[in-house]
Structure 1
Amino acid sequence: MEIYSTQHLTESPKSLNSIAHIEAFHRLLEDECFQRFEFKTYEEAYREVASYIAFYNERRLHGSVLDLSPKEYYNQTKRGLIPQREVRV
């Protein structure tokens, strides 16, 4: 299992769009992970959250990225199969 870095992100007050994405992810993490399991130890919770993050990035389909997983969307964009969208910050 791949271990993910936990790095605190700080956003400027003007970047509401990226804050909204983070809050949406936290809502999904709550609904799809935390509410499904009762954790007995920190290690158990860490393992499940890491597993969910891997699922979210590698297999979960996202409507905002053409119903692909983020990993697949990134790979197809990198290969030029999907044109990059302009991101306004």
Structure 2
Amino acid sequence: MASNTQNVVRYSALLAGLAYGFVHNRTVQKEDAEAAITYARERRTQLIADGKKAWKDKTTKPKSDLIVDPEDPKFDLEKVLLQMEKYE
């Protein structure tokens, strides 16, 4: 049979371990939540920057002298098809 002193030490160690585990778990969860928020913010910023770059690239394409109106006498179907082939 264990003495009273041994029982007090055992249960004190058990309670200290439980308290440490509880506090440590809360700390780890808080750090993980902060990391997830930071990642989401950085990801959103990167997506916005990529979108702005894509929009700029799309809207600043050089305008060609290509005539796409089939009613125009200077219309050339071959040039239109070649131009469409380049963009695909």
TM-score greater than 0.5 by the shorter chain: no
Highest relative contact order (Cα 8 Å, sep 6+), 1 or 2? 1
Larger gyration radius, structure 1 or structure 2: 2
Give the TM-score, by structure 1 length.
Answer: 0.29
TM superposition score normalised by structure 2: 0.29
